[in-house]
Structure formats: structure tokens, C-alpha cells
A and B are shown apart, each in its own frame.
Chain A
């Protein structure tokens, strides 16, 4: 069945997926980390933790933007990823995480406690769950999507 996709997956889309797999974990790690530092701030009111959260969210968004771009190219280039629900689920979860964290970054610009409690931390929880769920979908990626280069002649 792999033969069906082979010719259409050469070029950009073929090269971009490994890059995507390299970029995608960075925002996931950053957003989960920001949740941890938000919890630390809410428990201590120690401003260093707030600053950690701000940098983690900003870094997650920067690499997340690159990853999102790579994923978009992948979607344009690869019919396999567009086929079925899994690819779309992954994309929607990941983009939703980025949108939530973008809003979260703005909430975190507040000078002090109310940057985190309650709105910032709520958004950090939602963003981390969405990012982890997006990561979870990758466990179920079919061979025709994730490993298509191996099935090419």
C-alpha cells in the first residue's frame, strides 16, 4: 500500500517530518515546565519562578511557531497525514496548545501575583494538557505517515 504515496511524498514533505519531530518536543517540555514553575510561584510568591515561567512560555512559543510551520508544510505535502482523523487530531491539539500559551504569555506580563493566580496557572494547566495530548497522538502514528521513507523504493 505504501506504493500509492511514494511519489507524492518526495521532496519537502519527506524532509520536513524529521525536522518537525525534532522541534515539536521543545514547546511540550517548555509548557509543562512553565506549569511546574507556576506551581512553584503560587506556593512561594518567589518572583524567580514567575520569570522562569515567562521565559519557558516565550521559548515554547518561539520553537512552537517553527514546529507549527513545519507541521503545516507537512500537511500540504503529505496526503498520508491528511488521511484519517489522527493527523488532524494532532494538529488541532498542538495549535490549540499554542494559542492558549500565547494568551498565557500575555497574562504572565502582569507585574506579580495576578500574573499566575488564578488565570495564568489555569492557562498553564490547559496548555500543558493540550501539548501532552498532542504528543500522545504521536504514539499511534501509522507506518504510512511517520516512517514513509522506509517504505519508499
Chain B
């Protein structure tokens, strides 16, 4: 009996999926970027769209960059490199990170989702993860040395150096290590600055970190514990928010909220405006909701979970909160749906052509929640007068080949020589992009 039953259900799914895909074909892709992207009606078939590429690795190949640029691997064989942080002396920190704890299974759907996510990630390298590596002499291409700077961290992601202090955002706390640029070891045990929301669920676990230009405050991104509050509001206490932390006392306040999974926290060069890339919610259709790049207004509420892109109410969330929806503001710039932006770097170097100056590189980890894969690349968005303009330009591509994943970009950074550094946590590689016309 299983067979006819399954066949019937499949027929129903196919019928629904067919409707979905025709909608998707009619969707004008050029309208999904920028300050007011097209927002189709929410749809979902019987099954959420789940499409993850098989992980095959690079096998000696390299990503593709535009003409006039060159890309090479700085380090390979890593274990889930998720973020990169160039130091002022030319050294490069590579943050290897992996969430070890499993989420509780409160509904039958959960193990299925966990399995899909694990599949999208491949093996993730065999070696030990959750540590920070120091690459020295990387400016010329191959680093002269690679050493473990800090080991046995707990799913670290964000890193920021302020004077003689290296702040590391583990998934459950911000730690301060005595360290200055040029050191090859940290000068002792860490001091905990503040606990961050973590287990037992800890769904969005990457804690992005930056410091204000004067170094007096830290900003940390704390992602939500759910897709759309389906684990209850209690689990979202101080989550889906960016915190402002006083590094000397550990006192914090919520700096901005309603940001489902904010990452890539970066101050725009020469300003005191904080920017972030945000992963919006899933299962409202392949072209909804666009992930976004936005400047973060202090005290603002960006809608999650009650509404998206300003005041578009999410029908799944109960009880609804019309008062909060009324206060929700839209973000600045849509990146298109489900691209999963996790890295953001403004181009502050001199070696790339002039149009890149002040623009944003965004590392798009890639989709799992739409039939046609989206993201899996690093895009560049031009800025004029401190605001994003135009449509994103594909900058580093080739992470997908024939529907299979060779890698997935995550954190991005611009190093002292003006090269773009990309962490690839599925290819287990750190890439460096230089301009052919680069001054040595």
C-alpha cells in the first residue's frame, strides 16, 4: 500500500511544484535586487523546496574571477574555514569553525532538515576545527608559515583586533585575548567579556563581530533560533539582533533588532555607519524573502519575525503584533532570495580599478530553499556617496559546476595589499584575488 499512497502524494507534490516553477519562470530576475525588490505573494508547495548540490570539492580547479584579476589558494586542506581577518602587519587570521552540538528534535521535520543541511556541507575536512590559524607572509601568494594561534574554541566566527586586544566571538561568548599585530602567540588565557545566547538550540550560531571606529564599543550579530519564530518567542530573547557591547564592562544593549541572521558587521570606511548582511526567512517561496545588505539604524526594528521587508506581515507568526510591524523599517538593498550572505567587506585597497573603491564584496554561501540554486559566489556592489547602487556584479564564481558544489564562500576581507580574501568552508580553502595590474 505504501507505493500507491506515496505515488498519490508525489503526484500532488508534482502538481504543486509545477505551479511553483512556472511562477518562478515568469519571475523577472532583474527586479530582485536593490532598494525595492519585487516581493511575490508567499507560496509553498506540500514540501518546502529543498535543493542542495552534491559536494565534490575543487580537485585542483580554482574559482573564476573577472578578466584582469587572478585567484590563487592561500591555504588548502583546512577544516571549515568560515572567516578571515587580515591584521595590520600583513598577517592573516583564518577562523575554522563548526557547530558541534546538535539541535533538539522538537518536531519530526527537524531531523530531515538537519540531514539536508549536513549534505550541503559535505565532510567539512577531516582535521580539527574550531581554532584560529595565523598565516604569515601571505601577501606574495603562498604564506611562508602557518601556525595555530588559538585552539579549542567553541564555534568561533567574528574576530576584531582593538589595540592590544584580540576579541573573538565564540558562539556562546566574546573572549578577549592579549595579542597585537606581529605576535605569533596570544599572551595568555582569555578573559570573557560577555556571554552570548547559545545552546541548547543555537540555530543560527555564527556570531559576527566588529568594533566601532574608535574602538570603544563592540558590535556582535546574534542570529535567530528559528526560521520564523516556530520555536516560540521565549527562544528568541535578545536574538535576531545586533548587540552593542562595552568591552571593558561586558554591559550590552540591543543596538538593532528584527534582523533574522545578521552577519558581516562592518563600519563603512571613514564613517560611523554600521553595515550588515542579513539572511531572511525561508519557506515562503523561491523568490521570497530577499536577503539583504543594509546600513543599521541604531534602535531600529527590521521586522523579523512579524514582518519582512518593512511591513509585509508573515502569516505564519502568531500572535501577530501589529504595533511592532508598524514600527518595522525596510532594509537598504536586496541581494535576491536565499543567497545566504555571510560575509561583507568594503573595498579599502588601492590595487583594484577605481570603480571598486568604497564598494561592497558580499560572500554568498548559497541557497538550499529554492529549486534553482542561488548565491554560491562573491558579488560586488558599487557604492556612491556611501550608498549601494546598481545591480550586483558576479566577482568570484565557479563554486558550482554542473549542479555540484566545489566550494561555498563565507567570510570575505580586503588585506593590506588590497587583495580580496575569501574563506571557502566547503572547499576548505582560503582564496586570494589580486588585480593583474596590482602594484607589488
Contact = CB atoms under 8 A, between A and B. Distances in A.
Interface of A: 45, 47, 50-51, 54-55, 58, 65, 68-69, 71-72, 95, 98-99, 102-103, 105-107, 109-115
Interface in B1-30: 1-2, 4-6, 8-9, 12-13
Contacts of B226: 111
Interface stretch (B61-69, B124-132, B315-323, B397-405): B315-323
Contact of B228 (A99, A103, A109, A112): A112
Given A102-B9, A103-B46, A110 B1 contact: no
B46 A107 contact: yes
Nearest to B319: A45
Contact of A112 (B6, B9, B109, B229): B229
23 contacts: A45-B318, A45-B319, A51-B107, A54-B107, A58-B108, A65-B1, A69-B1, A98-B1, A99-B5, A99-B9, A102-B9, A103-B9, A106-B46, A107-B46, A109-B47, A110-B316, A111-B226, A111-B227, A112-B228, A112-B230, A113-B317, A113-B318, A114-B316
Nearest to A68: B1
B316 A95 contact: no
B109 A54 contact: yes
A95 B1 contact: yes
Given A99-B9, A103-B46, A113-B315, 17 more contacts: A47-B232, A50-B107, A51-B107, A58-B108, A65-B5, A68-B2, A95-B1, A95-B4, A102-B6, A106-B9, A110-B44, A110-B283, A111-B229, A112-B228, A112-B229, A113-B317, A115-B316
A69 B2 contact: yes
A54 B108 contact: yes
Nearest to B231: A47
Contacts of B9: 99, 102-103, 106
A47 B226 CA distance: 13
Contacts of A68: 1-2, 5
Given A68-B5, A109-B109, A103 B12 contact: yes
A68 to B, nearest CB: 4
A110 B42 CA distance: 12
